[in-house]
Amino acid sequence: MQIIQSRKELRQGIKNARSDGKTIGFVPTMGFLHRGHLSLMRRARKENDLVVASIFVNPTQFGPNEDLEAYPRDAQRDIDLMTAESVDIAFFPTVEALYPEGYTTFVDVEGPMTQVLCGQSRPTHFRGVTTIVAKLFNMVAPDRAYFGQKDAQQVAVIRRMAADLDFDLSIVVCPIVRETDGLAMSSRNTYLTPEQRENAPQLNKALIMSREMVEKGERSGPAVRKAIESRINGVNGAVIDYVAVVNAESLAELQTLEGKVLIALAVKFGTTRLIDNVQIDVRDQLA
């Protein structure tokens, strides 16, 4: 595995692969890799000749009072894990290289899609995400880019951005990877106290319950949302940021469930904010 810090060197690597006719798969991450990230790399490895993964804790997607400084980092561990997944190029850019003095350009998906759900409590988050992803797409010029379904809103926003700005690539979305007790993998899980960690799987349990409600015929968005809220309000130490029942592509709130439905939530345990979701394809079933 090549470990690359400079854009120039990255571009040379990409250019060489391209001139050999190789396809390129790209996995952008903020590092502190867990099995969720590794599943993306494995999928990219299967589908492409060259696999590039980036490790960059992107400052523009953190708000002023968020956990940018505290965000867990362990480059050596990440390198070992990527090596084991047969990643070809590990790209570790510096903040100074990607956001030099005088940097002023931002890519923004405007409108409700970035204002609802996580956008409500993190108003500049997705602008940071789309900006860094557009930059990385331009640097890596991949055929396929891999994202985890855990960040469902991020997936919808990046799909929108990639289509709107005519990026010539496929967005590949991989399923949520969970701990054995159901907690969705996240680098932020390391923040949890033992007691919070014990209660955190209740988020997944609430989502499973909601899916079962829908499977049994429930079609009211508010009814599903309230059932989840009521369940999570009973979990020790859990403070709801949002529970949302929305169209999976537009993220518009649904009164009546139909089509591709996303049920998503963000819940705080102390200062740690966890997100999780379930996607359900609701077909009209005639009685």
Q: How far is the CB of 60 from its own copies (least distance, A)?
A: 11
Q: Which stretch binds its own copies (CB under 8 A): 18-26, 43-51, 213-221, 227-235?
A: 18-26
The nearer residue to its own copies, 53 or 141, going by C-beta atoms, is 141
Residue 56 interacting with its own copies (CB under 8 A): no
Which one among 76, 105, 180, 271 touches its own copies, defined by CB under 8 A?
Answer: 105
- Quick one: how far is CA 89 from the chain centroid? 21
Q: Which of 37, 125, 127, 144 is catalytic?
A: 37
| DSSP at 237 | T
The nearer residue to its own copies, 79 or 139, going by C-beta atoms, is 139
- Residue 179 sits at φ, ψ, to 5 deg, of -65, 165
Residue 113 interacting with its own copies (CB under 8 A): yes
How do strand 50-55 and strand 144-148 relate by DSSP bridges? unpaired
Q: Which stretch binds its own copies (CB under 8 A): 81-89, 134-142, 187-195, 254-262?
A: 134-142
Residue 164 interacting with its own copies (CB under 8 A): yes
CA distance 202 to 139: 40
Which one among 2, 12, 86, 138 touches its own copies, defined by CB under 8 A?
Answer: 138
CA distance 218 to 215: 7
CA distance 26 to 114: 24
The nearer residue to its own copies, 9 or 229, going by C-beta atoms, is 9
Angle of helix 125-140 versus helix 7-19 axis, rounded to 10:
50
Angle at 132 between CA 172 and CA 25, to 5 degrees: 35
Q: How far is the CB of 254 from its own copies (least distance, A)?
A: 17
* 125 counts as catalytic: no
Q: Give the residues across from 265 on adjacent strands.
A: 243, 276
Distance set, CA 39 to CA 42, 117, 229, 246, 270 (Å): 5, 26, 30, 26, 29
Binding residues for its own copies (CB under 8 A): 7, 11, 18-19, 21, 98, 102-111, 113, 130-131, 134-136, 138-139, 141, 160-161, 164-168, 250
